[in-house]
Every structure is written in structure tokens, then in C-alpha cells.
């Protein structure tokens, strides 16, 4: 069941900019499509319009090619899971999972059979009689998924479903959701501000910024080919460095980088991801102004990784992420100078740095 949205627009407050403007995309059948973007970029509003919880000012929502823009929420055949796992605290796990079917007046035996099936699917086979208060956060959220799937929705809508969980459980449930989708093939829309979650879980990522679609595509394509400075800086938390095109050659300080298509002489920004910088040891005695040297201002160890803060000759600062072993192999420390290679930088005309 594919979901198509076309030209969606929603303004909550007259005179304000719209919360969502001209949003169009297709979420393919059976896949996970993520809506990724910073807080306030309009992700939840888009999801609520697909659900039928919010009416668009203009634009349309179709499921499997059938327009449902004005169809009430109960008749859209969608299931939801939100961040706060709002389970019914007075109902046990079975009661929670079967709730939607009971509302639909399904037969008792049919409800029991479906609940049994879902308990196995979400890995809670022996916990049917527990009350929500007797479950861990991760288990509660799996009950919420089972409850959303009980009525066999055509589309599963997830709004930051792991947002309230601690890191380990969040990572576990991320894998689990991928497996769940592979088993159920329910078309899924996942709202998240966590780029790792979106890049890892989904077949398609819609990146949103200020109410609009900034870029849509396969996760690796967006990572490798950011379409705009916003995407280049947002995906991978890139450093932004000032550079220059002159006579068709682009440089950031003394570091040569690729020249953007159609570039004319003038200012550029290079977007450099902390994990895509290569450092090497500066040779003793070298260090004329021509070498791309950076001075190590600080090293912060985070378990097996390190964050190296560099100061470049331009006085700009840059963050580099290395494995602890890589730093040890380099044999450098705070105050030392290192050669910096930003060859993989994404370069855009203009100056977006602050
Ligand atoms: P996201 O989910 O990406 O964080 P939202 O869709 O929740 O973003 O919000 C987008 C914008 O719309 C924000 O500026 C938010 O304050 C505004 N907004 C959302 N819901 C309402 C509402 N019911 N009334 C007024 N403004 C709203
Ligand atoms: Mg939101």
C-alpha cells in the first residue's frame, strides 16, 4: 500500500509561515520511509495529515492511489505509534493489543488468536497478563507496536517511537523494527530527528527543513550526494569551512577540494564530516605556509573513539573523529601540528557559515 502526498500545506497561525509547505512524496509499498529533520521542521504535522488527525489547507493524501484527504481517521486503515507509549494502564498486555479489535466488535476467538500471533511477533509471548506498569520501556513500546498492528493497518505511522527510551534499548528496537518490517511488509512512515535511525532503517529518506522537503532519496544517495548546503551540514554534522574558487580552482586555505558544478570565481563553503578527515603526521622541519597543517587544540576520548579539535591556519576550528587506535598510530598529542586532508569535502558556492 503506497502512500502519496501531493502539495501538502498547513498553516496553523494566520500571518506565520506555514508549518508545512508544498510537501510531495511517495512512500513505496512495504518499505520504511523516514521523515527526517530538525525539531520544528514540520515532520509531525505531515504525519498527522497522513493520519487524518490534521486537515491540510491544500494538497492531497492518497493510499494505494485512492484519495483519502477528507476520509476520517478511523476509516483510513492506519496504525500509530507515538513517543509516549500511551498504553491503557488498567488493561493488561493482551487487553491493550486486542483493544482496537474489540472496538471493531471482532469475535472473542478471533481477538484471542490475533493477540497470540502478535505476542509472538513482538517477542512478548509470556507477558500477556502483565500490566503496562510491570513492563520495561522497550517492552511497553513493543506492546504499542502490537496494538497498532492488531487491526491489520494498511500503513503504520510512527512518530519518534523510540524517543523516550535509553540509548541501548533504542538501538535494540531500531534493529527490531527493521526485522518487524521485513516480516510484516507494512508500509511504514517513521518520523525521527535521529539521522542514524533514518539512514539505517529506511529504504527512503525525506529530509525536511522549515516545512519543506529539502531532499528525498535512498539513504546512501543523500549521504553521498547532498543536494544543498543544509543537507551537507545536517547529514553527518559536517564542519563548515570557508573557501575560494579562483581561475576555476577551488581551495580551502592551502587544501585543494573539488570545484562545484558551474562554479564561478568567488566564495564557497566546504562541508567536511568529522569522520571523513584524514590526518597524518607533519614532517619535522616542514611547515611552510603552503602545507595544510592544523594544530591540535584538544583531544576528547569517548570510549574507543576520540574527538580531535583542530585549529586551521585560517583560524577556523574543525572537529575530527578518529578511532583511538588511529590516534595512537599517529603518535600526536595536544599542541602538535598535523597534516589535514579534506579531500572528500562537499563544496557549494556561497558562504553559509556563521
Ligand atoms: P517537527 O515534528 O518536525 O518537530 P511539527 O510538525 O511539530 O515539527 O511543527 C512544525 C511547526 O508547526 C512548528 O513551528 C510548530 O511550532 C508548529 N505547530 C505544530 N503544531 C501546531 C499547532 N497545533 N498550533 C500551532 N502551531 C503548531
Ligand atoms: Mg515532531
pLDDT digits (tens, 9 = 90+) for 304-333: 999 999 999 999 999 999 999 999 999 999
Q: Which helix (H) or strand (E) holds 205?
A: strand 204-209
What is the residue with the minimal CA distance to atom 25 of ligand 1? 12
Cell (9 digits) for 22? 508544498
How high is the pLDDT of residue 286? 55
- Indicate whether 165 belongs to any domain: yes
Q: Which of 20, 23, 45, 195 to mutate to test the pocket of ligand 1 (most atoms within 8 A of CB)?
A: 45
- Domain boundary residue among 209, 230, 251? 230
Atom in ligand 1 nearest the alpha carbon of residue 208? 3
Q: Which of 23, 40, 207, 212 to mutate to test the pocket of ligand 1 (most atoms within 8 A of CB)?
A: 40
* 133 in the same domain as 270: no
Q: How far is the CA of 81 from the centre of ligand 2 (A)?
A: 13
| CB neighbour list of residue 39: distance below 8 Å, 6 or more residues apart | 193
Q: How far is the CA of 40 from the centre of ligand 1 (A)?
A: 6
Work out the mean pLDDT of the chain and round it to a whole number: 93
- Indicate whether 133 belongs to any domain: yes
Say which ligand is closest to the CA of 159: 2
How high is the pLDDT of residue 287? 52
Kindly state the average pLDDT of the residues 161-188: 91
CATH number for position 289:
2.40.50.100
CATH number for position 45:
3.40.50.300
Q: How far is the CA of 110 from the centre of ligand 1 (A)?
A: 40
Are 248 and 263 in contact by the 8 Å Cβ rule? The answer is yes
- Indicate whether 354 belongs to any domain: no
Q: How far is the CA of 257 from the centre of ligand 1 (A)?
A: 39
Bridge partners of 156?
79, 188
DSSP string over 32-99: EEEEE-STTSSHHHHHHHHHTSS--SEEEEEETTEE-TTS-GGGS-EEEEETT----TTS-HHHHHHH
Distance (Å, rounded) from C-alpha 174 to C-alpha 201?
Answer: 7
* 28 in the same domain as 65: yes
Q: How far is the CA of 333 from the centre of ligand 1 (A)?
A: 46
How high is the pLDDT of residue 288? 53
* 339 in the same domain as 195: no
* 292 in the same domain as 267: yes
Per DSSP, the three-state class of 106 is coil
Nearest to 309 by CA among 327, 322, 296: 296
* 248 in the same domain as 206: no
* 150 in the same domain as 124: yes
Atom in ligand 1 nearest the alpha carbon of residue 38? 3
Kindly state the average pLDDT of the residues 159-177: 89
* 176 in the same domain as 135: yes
Q: Is the pLDDT of residue 84 over 80?
A: no
Share in percent of the chain as helix, strand, coil (round to 5):
30, 30, 40
> Cα dihedral angle (192, 193, 195, 201), rounded to 10 degrees?
-10
Q: How far is the CA of 45 from the centre of ligand 2 (A)?
A: 7
How high is the pLDDT of residue 85? 61
Give 17's DSSP letter: P
What is the residue with the minimal CA distance to atom 6 of ligand 1? 42
Residue 220 burial (CB count, 10 A) = 10
What is the residue with the minimal CA distance to atom 27 of ligand 1? 12
Kindly state the average pLDDT of the residues 159-163: 91
Q: Which of 14, 17, 19, 213 to mutate to test the pocket of ligand 1 (most atoms within 8 A of CB)?
A: 19
DSSP string over 268-293: EEEEE-GGG-EEEEPPTT---TTS-E
pLDDT-derived band at 351, boundaries 50, 70, 90: confident
How high is the pLDDT of residue 82? 84
For the chain, give the number of residues: 354
- Indicate whether 270 belongs to any domain: yes
* 43 in the same domain as 88: yes
- Domain boundary residue among 177, 207, 230? 230
Give 13's DSSP letter: S
Nearest to 198 by CA among 224, 169, 212, 218: 218
Are 89 and 131 in contact by the 8 Å Cβ rule? The answer is yes
Say which ligand is closest to the CA of 13: 1
How high is the pLDDT of residue 164? 79
* 293 in the same domain as 207: no
Distance (Å, rounded) from C-alpha 96 to C-alpha 323?
Answer: 45
Per DSSP, the three-state class of 105 is coil
Domain count, the chain: 2
* 194 in the same domain as 240: no
pLDDT-derived band at 17, boundaries 50, 70, 90: very high
How high is the pLDDT of residue 354? 56
Distance (Å, rounded) from C-alpha 132 to C-alpha 232?
Answer: 42
pLDDT-derived band at 18, boundaries 50, 70, 90: very high
| Residue 172: domain span | 3-230
* 193 in the same domain as 91: yes
For the Cβ of 37 lying below 6 angstroms from any atom of ligand 1, the answer is yes
Are 308 and 279 in contact by the 8 Å Cβ rule? The answer is yes
Q: Is the pLDDT of residue 289 over 60?
A: no
- Domain boundary residue among 167, 202, 230? 230
* 161 in the same domain as 96: yes
DSSP string over 249-272: EEEETTEE-PPPTT--SEEEEEEE
Distance (Å, rounded) from C-alpha 197 to C-alpha 43?
Answer: 15
Q: How far is the CA of 44 from the centre of ligand 2 (A)?
A: 4
Amino acid at each position: 500500500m503506497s502512500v502519496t502526498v501531493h502539495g501538502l500545506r498547513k498553516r496553523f497561525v494566520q500571518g506565520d509561515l506555514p508549518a508545512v509547505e508544498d510537501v510531495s512524496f511517495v512512500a513505496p509499498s512495504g518499505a520504511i520511509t523516514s521523515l527526517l529533520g530538525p525539531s520544528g521542521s514540520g515532520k509531525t504535522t505531515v504525519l498527522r495529515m497522513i493520519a487524518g488527525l490534521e486537515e491540510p489547507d491544500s494538497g492531497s493524501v492518497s493510499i494505494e492511489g485512492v484519495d483519502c484527504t477528507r476520509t476520517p481517521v478511523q476509516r483510513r486503515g492506519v496504525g500509530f505509534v507515538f513517543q509516549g507509549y500511551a498504553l491503557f494502564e488498567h488493561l493488561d498486555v493482551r487487553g491493550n493489543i486486542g483493544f482496537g479489535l474489540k472496538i471493531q466488535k471482532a469475535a472473542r476467538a478471533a481477538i484471542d488468536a490475533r493477540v497470540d500471533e502478535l505476542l509472538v511477533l513482538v517477542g512478548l509471548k509470556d507477558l500477556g497478563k502483565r500490566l503496562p506498569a510491570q513492563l520495561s520501556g522497550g517492552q511497553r513500546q513493543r506492546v504499542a507496536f502490537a496494538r497498532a498492528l492488531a487491526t491489520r493497518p494498511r500503513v503504520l505511522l510512527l512518530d519518534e517511537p523510540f524517543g523516550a527510551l535509553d540509548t541501548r534499548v533504542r538501538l535494540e528496537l531500531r534493529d527490531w523494527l527493521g526485522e518487524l518490517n521485513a516480516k510484516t511488509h507494512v508500509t511504514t512512515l517513521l518520523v525521527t530527528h535521529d539521522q542514524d535511525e533514518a539512514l539505517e532503517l529506511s529504504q527512503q529518506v525525506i529530509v525536511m527543513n522549515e516545512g519543506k522537503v529539502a531532499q528525498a532519496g535512498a539513504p546512501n544517495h543523500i549521504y553521498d550526494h547532498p543536494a544543498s548546503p543544509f543537507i551537507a551540514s545536517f547529514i553527518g554534522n559536517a564542519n563548515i569551512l570557508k573557501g575560494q574558487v579562483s581561475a576555476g580552482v577551488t581551495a580551502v586555505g592551502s587544501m585543494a577540494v573539488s570545484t562545484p558544478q558551474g562554479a564561478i570565481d568567488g566564495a564557497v563553503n566546504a562541508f567536511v564530516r568529522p569522520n571523513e578527515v584524514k590526518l597524518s603526521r607533519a614532517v619535522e622541519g616542514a611547515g611552510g605556509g603552503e602545507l595544510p597543517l592544523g594544530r591540535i587544540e584538544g583531544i576528547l576520548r569517548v570510549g574507543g573513539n576520540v574527538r580531535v579539535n583542530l585549529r586551521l591556519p585560517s583560524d577556523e576550528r574543525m572537529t575530527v573523529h578518529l578511532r583511538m587506535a588511529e590516534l595512537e598510530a599517529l603518535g600526536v598529542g595536544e599542541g602538535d601540528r598535523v597534516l589535514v586532508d579534506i579531500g572528500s569535502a562537499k563544496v557549494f558556492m556561497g558562504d553559509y557559515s556563521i
